[in-house]
């Protein structure tokens, strides 16, 4: 994936899950599980 693909992916995730993701959110994301945990936190508070 290139940088534009990542932007497209983030926009799609924000749209699908009605969440807002910012660059700082990804500081601790280094696995799929940590990404899932981030989404869970954003969706469920």
Mind giving me the DSSP string for 26-38?
A: GTT--SHHHHHHH
Q: What is the pLDDT of residues 6-33, one digit of tens each?
A: 899 999 999 999 999 999 999 989 999 9
CA distance 16 to 10: 10
The H or E element that residue 7 is part of is helix 3-17
Model-wide pTM > 0.85? no
CB 28 within 8 A of CB 34: yes
Looking at residue 34, its pLDDT comes to 96
* Residue range of the domain that includes 26: 3-44
Quote the number of domains for the chain.
1
Looking at residue 1, its pLDDT comes to 77
């Amino acid at each position: 994936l290139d940088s534009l693909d990542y932007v497209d992916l983030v926009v799609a995730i924000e749209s699908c899950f009605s969440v807002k993701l910012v660059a700082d959110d990804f500081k601790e994301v280094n696995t799929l599980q940590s990404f899932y945990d981030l989404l869970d936190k954003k969706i469920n508070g």
